[in-house]
Amino acid sequence: MKRTKGLIEQHIHGAFGFDFMNCTVSELLYSAELLLQNGVSAFFPTVMTDDINIIKERIEIIKEAKKLQKEKQAKIIGVHLEGPFINPEKAGIHDKKYILPLDVELYKKIDDEIIKIITLAPELDKTGMFLKYLKEKNIKISLGHSLGTDLKEVNQVTHLYNAMGAFSHRGESTVVSALNNDEIYTEIIADSMHVCDNVLSLTFKQKPKDKIILISDALPLAHSTKKEHIFAGQKIYSKNGKLVNSDGTIAGSSFLLCDIIKNITDKHLITFEDAINFASSNISKYHKISDNIEILWNDNNTIYKPEIN
């Protein structure tokens, strides 16, 4: 039996059949309870690209849930806003009709202190005023769904390799910039479907160990008996654990962080201790999060139970 700190999920869209883009306050709180049972002690509900009024509504739901939280629930830290300020050329499953320009006045329509992380395309901020405004508010700026290569104004990169300029040996690319910059954090979905095992292994060797953040990018189908779900305005299917739309475009993950840790440690891609740091200590330092949750693990690297001290 092993004892670790609780896991921290900074990029998650839902799980257990619940979608953070349309769930009620009580459903979000129940999701937080189930997340704790799966080892997650704190999380950032992630809000997708959508109509700006729906985004505002979602933020209010998350704020209300945060106020009502009880002891035996994963703690809501803040909102991770993924879009709508992204590059349409790298939209992925984000609905392009809701993508907005990087304009401060537009952002002010949803501006709220609960927003802690924003995934955006910094190359589209031609004046620099949008990024300047976010930095003044101490929001973590994450390059994602982007073709940008200049990382000097960002704190992190969203789901490395996915929805960004690919590796190129003949010129600059988002991936190369992210791998070569030791100062920024990099999210990575280590479910072996979004990123293959060889590339995961390479990434774990290349990036400083204190700058890697494991995320699930879990969708409502994660840990659910459902086989399909409407997400981002389209039907998402579960095919052998891989979540895709009707065109075969990969969406988020069916894994939670506990599944990802088991996946990469069973394959000996990284040690159990490093995996826990990538999913816990690194994130708690990055966001200055403290909690009193510990997780007990079986010897086969599966969750035994959470403990509240």
pTM, whole model, 2 decimals? 0.96
More confident residue, 249 or 98: 98
Classify residue 169 as left (phi > 0), alpha (psi -120 to 50) or beta.
alpha
pLDDT digits (tens, 9 = 90+) for 113-132: 999 999 999 999 999 999 99
Compute how many other C-beta atoms are within 10 angstroms of the C-beta atom of residue 66: 19
276 touches 19 (CB < 8 A): no
Position 293 confidence tier, pLDDT thresholds 50, 70, 90: confident
Q: Is 297 helix (H, G, I), strand (E, B) or coil?
A: strand
pLDDT in tens, 32-79: 999 999 999 999 999 999 999 999 999 999 999 999 998 899 999 999
Note the pLDDT tens digit of each residue in 6-40. Answer: 999 999 999 999 999 999 999 999 999 999 999 99
User: 3-class DSSP state for residue 201?
Assistant: helix
pLDDT at 309 over 70: no
Q: How confident is the model at residue 167 (pLDDT cuts 50, 70, 90)?
A: confident
* Residue 179, domain extent: 2-308
Ordered alpha helix ranges (H), the chain? 25-37, 52-67, 104-107, 129-136, 174-180, 197-206, 257-266, 272-276, 282-287
Rounded-to-integer distance, Cα 73 and Cα 29, Å: 7
Per-residue tokens: 281:
């200590």
Overall average pLDDT of the 182-192 stretch: 97
Q: To the nearest whole number, what is the mean pLDDT of the chain?
A: 95
Identify the CATH number of the domain in which residue 122 sits.
3.20.20.140
Helix axes 25-37, 52-67, angle to 10 degrees: 60
Q: What pLDDT band is residue 304 in, cutting at 50, 70 and 90?
A: confident
Q: What does the DSSP assignment read for 135-149?
A: HHTTPEEEE-SB---
- Total structural domains in the chain? 1
The yes-or-no verdict on residue 291 having pLDDT over 80 is no
pLDDT digits (tens, 9 = 90+) for 79-89: 999 999 999 99
Torsion angle (degrees, nearest 10) of CA 91, 92, 97, 103:
-30
Is residue 306 over pLDDT 90? Answer: no
